[in-house]
Amino acid sequence: MIQNRRQNRLILTRKIQIIPLGEKEEIDRVYKYLRDGIFYQNKAMNQYMSALYIAAIKDISKEDRKELNRLYSRVSNSKKGSAYDKSIEFAKNMNLGYVVKQVKQDFANSCKNGLLCGKVSLPTYRKNNPLLVHVNFVRLRSTNYHQDNGMYHNYESHTDFLDHLYSKDLEVFIKFANNITFKMIFGNPHKSAYLRSEIQQIFEENYKVCGSSIQIDGKKIILNLSMDIPKQELELDENIVVGVDLGLAIPAMCGLNTNDYIRQSIGSKDDFLRIRTQLQSQRRRLQKSLASTSGGHGRQKKLKPLEKLKDRERNFVKTYNHYVSKNVVDFAVKNKAKYINVEDLSGFDSNQFILRNWSFYELQQFITYKAAKYGIEVRKINPYHTSQICSCCGHWEEGQRIDQAHFKCKSCGAELNADFNASRNIAMSTDFV
């Protein structure tokens, strides 16, 4: 995921598996440290979030708000006093300031989205919410002037490190809090080539590591490594806009506001739904066979194949969205477009077959963060009538979109591919949401 930080920089987050070094006793200690830390952190975050909400509803004074924030900025056993439950034991060496900052930010965003008007519900931090990690525990160890922690390797020189960068035996470590050392797992050198290149950029100090987070996914420990990276400088034309029509027959059709012919269709509904529905059918059959399974350890063991199947399904959709979003952004870069317009699909009927089987929201997220790397802005537009307006003359009339693939204007007579016509209308739209 990528977010804007400054005008010429971005925050990029990568998921990397890490394993603790040591014997079984040490590994058990690390898992307990992380699990307890995650549990108590999220309990504390929920307490603070509830307190902010109550304070907002009661409209307490500015001074009382300051005192409230001070009380929640101290650990539960602080001699100066704390508002946290005494049972909350924060993970040793973890920074409470990160927790406070995150809750404040989440609360502010929820208020902007209508929390106090009842439009959205109060955010809650579930048990799988990751442990927030201070930058000093994950940054480059050689640049950590505050403490002897962070990312490092044991190669004799940077040249030696580069010689191993794309090999299976690459070894990079993190000296973490509470005397814990992790080894980073990169997997297949070919599949992880881009990630390895980013690690190289960190060691060459072109990318700066930021505050990150750690989560436990099953038996795996995952580091969500955040990096501050420079945008790639491109000469983009403010007058060129890419329109993206997310459709049924063609997952994504790209068109331009400045050209009647240039287009790119990305993906195939048949390929996507064929694999997705196969996985769903397997899942339903497995669920049916497990319906009569009784409780206990045996049931948990039998449920593992179902969980693996669910993971396969989620990973397939995510991979497909990465593929589509990359091609959309590549089309924009190739045509030097400063903007990408997409339809706001938040009000669409989620019961439609294609919408149930494809996360359009995730796809739009991927397009947004990939575009941000090049300084391309993604804007949402009102989808009303984008498929019924003629992109050639602007005439609107019901029935101009004959079927899924064909559009014929009843005014100027233009005959166009219906998805391409919609993508051009999206590109030319200024009805932003």
Per-residue pLDDT of 83-128, as tens digits, reads: 998 899 999 888 899 899 999 999 999 999 899 998 889 999 998 8
Numbered ranges of CATH 3.30.420.140 in the chain: 237-275+326-428
Neighbours of 368 (CB within 10 A): 21
Percent of the chain topping pLDDT 90: 58
Distance, in Å, from the CA atom of 348 to the CA atom of 351, rounded to the nearest integer, reads: 9
374 close to 232: Cβ distance less than 8 angstroms: yes
pLDDT score for 29: 97
Distance, in Å, from the CA atom of 209 to the CA atom of 227, rounded to the nearest integer, reads: 4
- Residue 245 falls in the annotated catalytic set: yes
pLDDT score for 272: 62
Distance, in Å, from the CA atom of 308 to the CA atom of 304, rounded to the nearest integer, reads: 6
How many H-runs (helices) and E-runs (strands) does the chain carry? 10, 16
CATH 3.30.420.140 fits 237-275+326-428, yes or no: yes
| Cα dihedral 122/40/83/113 (nearest 10) | -20
Give the residues across from 221 on adjacent strands: 18, 216
pLDDT score for 41: 95
- Residue 419 falls in the annotated catalytic set: yes
80 close to 74: Cβ distance less than 8 angstroms: yes
pLDDT score for 350: 47
Q: Is 52 left (phi over 0), alpha (psi -120 to 50) or beta?
A: alpha
Q: Which of 106, 198, 313, 419 is catalytic?
A: 419
> Could you read off the pLDDT of 115-172 as tens digits, one per residue?
999 888 999 999 889 999 999 999 999 998 878 999 999 999 999 999 999 999 999 9
pLDDT score for 355: 46
Q: Which of 343, 349, 397, 403 is catalytic?
A: 343
Closest CA to 69 of 95, 104, 38: 104
Low-confidence ranges of the chain (pLDDT < 70): 1-8, 248, 269-307, 309-310, 312-313, 346-358
Instruction: Give DSSP secondary structure letters for 155-172.
Output: -SSHHHHHHHTTSTT---
pLDDT score for 349: 46
Q: What are the Cα distances from residue 137, in Å, to 292, 329, 422?
A: 48, 34, 49
Distance, in Å, from the CA atom of 151 to the CA atom of 183, rounded to the nearest integer, reads: 10
User: By CB neighbour count within 10 A (0-12 exposed, 13-18 middle, 19+ buried), where does 139 fall?
Assistant: buried
Distance, in Å, from the CA atom of 244 to the CA atom of 343, rounded to the nearest integer, reads: 8
- Residue 106 falls in the annotated catalytic set: no
Q: Which of 245, 260, 307, 311 is catalytic?
A: 245
pLDDT score for 320: 81
Distance, in Å, from the CA atom of 45 to the CA atom of 292, rounded to the nearest integer, reads: 39
pLDDT score for 425: 94
